Amino acid sequence: MIYPELPHDVNSPTHPVSAMDFMPVPLLRELQLHRLQSTVKYAYERVPLFRKRCDEQGVKPEHIKTLADIKLLPFMKKTDLRDEYPMGLRGASMDEVVRFHCSSGTTGKPICIPNTASDIEVWKNGVMRCLAMYGIRAGDVLQVSYGYGLFTGGLGLHYGGEGLGCAVLPISGGNTERQVMLMRDLGVTAIACTPSYFLRIIDEAKRQGVDFRKDTNLKHGIFGAEPWTNEMRQNIERETGIIAHDIYGLTEISGPGVAGGCQHSDGLHIWEDHFYPEIIDPDTLEPLPDGEVGELVFTTISRCGTPMIRYRTRDLTRLYTETCKCGRTMRVMDRISARSDDMLIIHGVNVFPGQIEACLLRVPEVAPHYQIVLSSTDTLDLFEIKVEVTPEAFSDNIRHLEDLRKRVLDNVKSIIGLTPKIILVGPGTLPRSEGKIRRVIDNRRK
């Protein structure tokens, strides 16, 4: 991956956008402890569920004397937000709340997150720091193709881009033909959306005969809101010539801008002056040392509207303590390519969709569009993968397609140890996304 040279003014320890990124570690740890102690006291006094759980565990705010003492505190989960709907975890008074954001309630009630003005500023600042780290500057034209409204993606990138001095195109998702037209006509240099929706934009550009390298000014893609693999990133960069950046966040913690990747690391720097990270064993719930893979847990140490303490994200990653070549002192986590609650158990084997995506995209003739379909009979699970092939590879030659199918199958078997049914389909056959894509159709009997 080749990054453009970053001007010293924005991407330096002395610039107001990036100054905290380079904070000396001893001072950072001192700040984190102060903010953690203040947040625990605040939540204990204002959030009844948190106080009840602390009392049940015999923990008081004054017991938090070091950062390691965070392990004494109870965890919070997404089910807590649903059980306490709409605002049972609110810490701020209603006259301090300036905005609500909610996530979809695919399994019942949605989650509702009240935000104060200071919460919005922390969120905006995180996005600005990510954009500056990516090499985006005042004068860039940022096309925000995340959804606007209750979802945090659109407004997060919008305010972060404006704060950095970008000209923002608030187009939201959908109307892909117009997305490509405005990208060309307005000289868009950066786009923010889900990686699956950008694949749809790529398809539409091809349909219109638009070459990203020759016909647009696009240089940066800011992708998040769903797991995506390095293979997907490489595919996007190869197809378009842009740099594909990863931005991480979740509504419960803040929104996009919790972490992002720099030019020197395949991981993401966490803005841990606001979001204190831990890695735990998802089975024992015990903390794991840096470098070991486990579940990512966040504590918001500067949030007022909905303080989240030891929130289990279900995202699987690990943390590193080595100093990054970029000079930032904020810890780096691996990119999120899997979630513990996305794990599929097929014939007794644990399988993550990201593993399958990586296998498929190693075959050059395969397009980045696939669908995993699970069903069952009285005695066994049925496992098939529908895979689109590229226009160049699609033909009526049965022998050629059978050879391709076998190579795809061998790739999948070598990684997950299972033998799914591989169904090759023609270009444009599988569903496209205008937001988050649904890759798995699980019709098994519960």
pLDDT beyond 70 at 107: no
Residue 9, pLDDT > 70, answer no
User: Is it the case that residue 395 has pLDDT exceeding 80?
Assistant: no
Q: Which amino acid is at 438?
A: R
With tokens 């009840």, the residue in question is 52
CB contact at 8 A, 315 and 352: no
Mean pLDDT rounded to a whole number for the chain: 91
* Shared domain check, 435 and 326: no
Are 73 and 158 members of one domain?
yes
**Is pLDDT of 184 > 50?**
yes
- Do residue 13 and residue 153 come from a single domain? yes
**How far does CA 118 lie from the centroid of its chain?**
23
Picking from 310, 342, 374, the residue at the C-terminal end of a domain is 342
The two beta strands, 440-442 and 366-376, are parallel
CB atoms within 10 A of CB 339: 18
Which amino acid is present at 356?
Answer: I
User: Which neighbouring-strand residues pair with 190?
Assistant: 142, 220
Question: What is the number of domains present in the chain?
Answer: 2
Report the percentage of the chain scoring pLDDT > 70: 95
Tell me if 386 sits within 8 A of 408, measured CB to CB.
no
For residue 407, give the H/E element and its range.
helix 398-416
Domain of 296, CATH number, reads: 3.40.50.12780
156 and 86 housed in the same domain: yes
Comparing CA positions, the residue from 41, 45, 44, 36 lying closest to residue 68 is: 36
- Mean pLDDT, to the nearest integer, of 149-173? 95
Whole-angstrom distance, CA of residue 238 vs CA of residue 258 = 27
CATH number at residue 412: 3.30.300.30
Report angle CA 140, 146, 151 to the nearest 5 degrees. Answer: 130
Place of tokens 């009240």: 114
| CA distance linking residue 296 with residue 334, whole number of Å | 10
CA dihedral 224, 227, 233, 234 (to 10 degrees): 180
Residue 262 in this model has a pLDDT that exceeds 80: yes
Which residue shows structure tokens 């892909």? 176
Residues 338 and 351 in one domain: no
My answer on whether 318 and 352 are in the same domain is: no
CB atoms within 10 A of CB 257: 29
Q: Across residues 160-178, what is the average pLDDT? A: 96
Q: What is the DSSP pairing of strand 111-116 with strand 294-300?
A: unpaired
Do residues 286 and 252 both lie within one domain?
A: yes
Find residue 31's DSSP bridge partners: none
Give the tens place of pLDDT for each residue, 49-82: 999 999 999 999 999 999 999 999 999 999 999 8
pLDDT of residue 337: 66
Q: What is the mean pLDDT of residues 375-400?
A: 84
- Tell me the C-alpha distance between 245 and 263, whole Å: 9
Residue with tokens 């092939």: 389
More confident residue, 434 or 351: 351
The pLDDT value given to residue 2 = 47
Answer whether residue 5 shows pLDDT above 70: no
Q: Quote the pLDDT of residue 104.
A: 66
Domain end call among 298, 318, 342: 342
Clarify whether residues 254 and 269 are in a common domain. Answer: yes
Residues 248 and 359 in one domain: no
Burial letters 160-183, b for 16+ CB under 10 A, else e: bbbbbebbbbbbbbeebeebbebb
Phi and psi, residue 232, nearest 5°: -65, -40
Question: Which range has the worst mean pLDDT, 6-10, 99-103, 141-145, 274-278?
Answer: 6-10
Q: Is the pLDDT of residue 384 over 50?
A: yes
Is residue 300 located within the same domain as residue 350? Answer: no
242 and 375 share one domain: no
- 195-208 vs 176-185: helix crossing angle, rounded to 10: 80
Given this model, what pLDDT does residue 376 score? 81
DSSP 157-217: HHHHHHHHT-EEE---S--HHHHHHHHHHTT--EEEE-HHHHHHHHHHHHHHT--HHHH--
> Taking the CA atoms of the chain, what radius of gyration do you get in angstroms?
23
Going from the C-alpha of 73 to that of each of 47, 59, 299, the distances in angstroms are 14, 7, 11
Query: Is the pLDDT score of 189 beyond 90?
Result: yes
Which pTM value belongs to this model? 0.85
Mean pLDDT of 191-214: 96
Q: Which domain holds residue 16?
A: 1-342
SS3 call for 385: strand
Instruction: Report the pLDDT value the prediction gives residue 342, as an integer from 0 to 100.
Output: 77
Q: Of the candidates 342, 369, 404, which is a domain's last residue?
A: 342
Asked whether the beta carbons of 240 and 218 are under 8 A apart, the reply is yes
- Locate all alpha helices (DSSP H) within 294-423, ordered by sequence: 353-360, 398-416
Residue, of 16 and 58, whose pLDDT is higher:
58
321 and 433, same domain (yes or no): no
Reduced to 3 states (helix: H, G, I; strand: E, B; else coil), residue 328 is coil
